[in-house]
């Protein structure tokens, strides 16, 4: 084992409780950090789903000709604000209704296809353009009325739903960021305090090493390595806890959210996401370790 690494490991063994305190705080920090990263990914996906999937339904007047419908469909398909246009006939509308009332077949049997209007369903590329598009579609001669899919709660609430989602996502990011920032700050301070104690204990050793010709780096390296050992242990254990939690909860979460892809469904993509988080945390962790050890070392130099 490298001499400096051996010195760092011996130092940890010599004062295990200080080391454990630092490592536990770092584990919590990186566990929460990993979970927050997954939450931010999921919330971004939920928002993206609702931003891109709200369906506008243009209900058509009875007796409208196929040519008129085709003309409107063609016009909308050329509109860059509109995407995924689909014509739903009266029969299809009845079928949708029957599927929706499958638990109560009587409701399905009591209705006639003629009461359901044919419609053109489409989604919007950008929800901020919704009002303009709806107003324009409403003005079309073949359109009776314009509505939205039921799960969005109707035309007036469409903006509210997306706004609420945007706010929720913003607060998850802001709150999560503040919380993670506090944890990182706490970890940093614990790291600096632990390393400062180590340096204080090793002050005589440093003086002796200095006398026998040790360079500054020779005295500093074990402290920096010790800091990196703490942080990397925190990162790896925190990440493993996240991995276990995600693997345990993923089936239920994916099932609950249905077609909204809150987490990657393919195991490889899920591991890629978590691997990306691990990579970022290792880089961030090493920066934290270097900053913490350098601050502790510079404080010890000033106090000499």
Partner 1 sequence: MIKFKNVTKTYGEVVALKDVSFEVKDGEFVFLMGPSGAGKTTVLKLILGEIRPDSGEVLFGTTNVAKIAEKDLPKLRQKIGCVFQDFKLLNERTVAENVEIALAVLEVSESKWPERIEKVLKVVGLSTRKDFFPAQLSGGELQRASLARALVVNPDLILADEPTGNLDWDTADEMMNLLEKVNKEGKTVIMATHNKEIVAKMKKRVIKLAGGKIIKT
Which residues in this chain contact partner 1 in the complex, by CB under 8 A?
A: 3, 10, 14, 205, 208-209, 211-215, 218
Cβ 13 to partner 1 shortest distance, Å: 10
User: Which C-beta is closer to partner 1: that of 16 or that of 267?
Assistant: 16
Cβ 304 to partner 1 shortest distance, Å: 14
User: Which C-beta is closer to partner 1: that of 4 or that of 278?
Assistant: 4
Length of the chain (residues): 304
User: Which C-beta is closer to partner 1: that of 112 or that of 204?
Assistant: 204
**How far apart (Å, rounded) are the C-alpha atoms in residues 177 and 5?**
34
Cβ 194 to partner 1 shortest distance, Å: 17
- DSSP assignments along 123-167, one per residue: EES-GGGHHHHHHHHHTSTTEEEEEE-GGGTSHHHHHHHHHHHHH
Cβ 208 to partner 1 shortest distance, Å: 5
**How far apart (Å, rounded) are the C-alpha atoms in residues 254 and 234?**
28
User: Which C-beta is closer to partner 1: that of 269 or that of 301?
Assistant: 301
Cβ 25 to partner 1 shortest distance, Å: 26
Distant-in-sequence contacts of 168-172, Cβ < 8 A, 24+ apart: 168/43, 169/43, 169/44, 169/46, 169/47, 172/39, 172/40, 172/43
User: Which C-beta is closer to partner 1: that of 11 or that of 119?
Assistant: 11
Cβ 207 to partner 1 shortest distance, Å: 8
Tokens of 12: 């940890």
**How far apart (Å, rounded) are the C-alpha atoms in residues 43 and 253?**
13
**How far apart (Å, rounded) are the C-alpha atoms in residues 219 and 256?**
55
User: Which C-beta is closer to partner 1: that of 10 or that of 303?
Assistant: 10
Task: Check residue 121 and report its DSSP letter.
Answer: E
């Amino acid at each position: 084992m490298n001499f400096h690494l051996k010195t760092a490991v011996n130092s940890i063994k010599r004062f295990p409780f200080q080391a454990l305190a630092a490592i536990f705080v770092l584990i919590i920090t990186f566990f929460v950090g990993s979970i927050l990263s997954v939450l931010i990914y999921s919330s971004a996906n939920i928002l993206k789903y609702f931003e891109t999937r709200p369906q506008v339904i243009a209900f058509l007047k009875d007796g409208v000709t196929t040519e008129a419908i085709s003309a409107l469909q063609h016009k909308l398909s050329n509109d860059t604000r509109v995407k995924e246009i689909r014509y739903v006939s009266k029969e299809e509308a009845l079928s949708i209704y029957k599927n929706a009332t499958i638990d109560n077949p009587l409701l399905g049997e009591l209705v006639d296809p003629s009461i359901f209007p044919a419609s053109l369903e489409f989604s919007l590329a950008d929800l901020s353009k919704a009002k303009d598009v709806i107003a324009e579609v409403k003005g079309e001669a073949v359109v009776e009325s314009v509505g939205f899919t039921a799960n969005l709660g109707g035309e007036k609430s469409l903006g509210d739903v997306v706004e609420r989602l945007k706010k929720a996502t913003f607060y998850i990011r802001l709150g999560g960021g503040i919380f993670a920032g506090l944890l990182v700050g706490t970890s940093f301070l614990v790291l600096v305090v632990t390393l400062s104690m180590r340096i204080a204990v090793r002050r005589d050793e440093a003086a002796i090493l200095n006398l026998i010709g040790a360079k500054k780096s020779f005295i500093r390296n074990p402290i920096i390595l010790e800091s990196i050992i703490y942080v990397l242990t925190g990162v790896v254990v925190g990440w493993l806890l996240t991995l276990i939690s995600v693997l345990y909860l993923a089936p239920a979460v994916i099932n609950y959210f249905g077609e909204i892809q809150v987490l990657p469904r393919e195991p490889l993509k899920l591991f890629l996401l978590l691997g990306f988080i691990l990579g970022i945390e290792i880089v961030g962790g090493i920066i934290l370790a270097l900053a913490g050890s350098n601050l502790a070392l510079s404080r010890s130099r000033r106090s000499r």
